[in-house]
Structure 1
Amino acid sequence: MNHISLYAQSLVYIVAGLNHFLNPRTYLAIMPPYIPAHQFMVTISGIAEIILGIGLLFRATQSVSAWGLIFLLIAIFPANVYMATSAKFIKFPAWLRWLRLPLQAVLIWWAYRYT
């Protein structure tokens, strides 16, 4: 069961990272205005998700990758807060926008299991 969880987590981050390049507008839209270099931030976070997702699969890099994902999840939290609180996203139900915030804690816990 632990391997399934690990592979699932790895896949989630690899796919999410690739999605930064396939659908960058989605990620650019949720960047808070006070964050500089939106395109660079979307690109670098996509690359980080791919590398860290792959890194989870190898015993030698698993712990470092899990810690990297934890720090990445903390770093992108302001984008989730911005999405939850900005009137710009009213086309999404409020409950869904706010659900993303505690979901970050679940994702951090999931990554922490592999530190």
Structure 2
Amino acid sequence: MSRSERSPLLLAGLLAAAGTAHFAAPRQFDHTVPRSLPGSPRTWTYASGAVELALAAGVALPRTRRVAALATAAFFVGVFPANIKMAVDWRHRPAPQKAAALGRLPLQLPLVLWARGVAKGAEGRS
């Protein structure tokens, strides 16, 4: 399997793992939900986990890959405020935790570009 064939499956795996984590350990995600969002943080945690699982399935399937990958790129942009909140909230934590929270911020750009690349690769195969 070539690198370009593995890329969508790896992205789908990342999304599936993250989505599953939202259900397996929701409390850690509840704390990243911006307070300005209406409703319970747990509802947002479960909703974002469900979205990640749906995106994973869509990216994994060639027929829906392009649209799902574009939606994934948008999702990665949409959850960026949660990463900012985490970095702000964790600014006084021990150095390894603070570094992890800050490290998530620049990671969003490669994730968005990866998802866009998967979408572009799917265009060529349709």
1:113 matched to 2:96? The reply is no
Compared CA separation, residues 87 and 58, structure 1 to 2 (3 A) = closer
Deviation at 1:2, TM superposition (A): 1.2
Tell which structure's C-alpha radius of gyration is larger. 2
Could you tell me which runs of 5 or more consecutive residues in structure 2 were left unpaired when the two chains were aligned. Answer: 120-126
Alignment match of 2:75 (pick from 72, 80, 83)? 72
The 5-angstrom pairing of residues 23-102 of structure 1 reads: 23-37=25-39, 38-87=41-90, 90-91=93-94, 92-102=96-106
> How many aligned positions are there?
115
Amino acid in structure 2 at the alignment position of 1:48: V
Amino acid in structure 1 at the alignment position of 2:100: L
Q: TM-score, normalised by structure 2?
A: 0.83
Q: TM-score, normalised by structure 1?
A: 0.90
- Identity of paired residues, percent? 27
Superposed structure 1 runs of 4+ greater than 3 Å apart? none
User: Counterpart in 1 of 2:19?
Assistant: 17
Deviation at 1:36, TM superposition (A): 2.0
CA contact (8 A) 1:16 1:46 kept: yes
For residues 97 and 60 of structure 2, the distance between their equivalents in structure 1, rounded to whole angstroms, comes to 35
CA contact (8 A) 1:83 1:89 kept: no
Compared CA separation, residues 88 and 47, structure 1 to 2 (3 A) = same
When structure 1 is superposed on structure 2, of 20-29 and 2-11 the one drifting more is 2-11
1:19-58 deviation digits (Å, cap 9, x = unpaired): 1111000100111222222122111111110111111122
Could you tell me which runs of 5 or more consecutive residues in structure 1 were left unpaired when the two chains were aligned. Answer: none
For residues 78 and 56 of structure 1, the distance between their equivalents in structure 2, rounded to whole angstroms, comes to 24
Alignment match of 1:4 (pick from 3, 6, 18)? 6
CA contact (8 A) 2:13 2:56 kept: yes
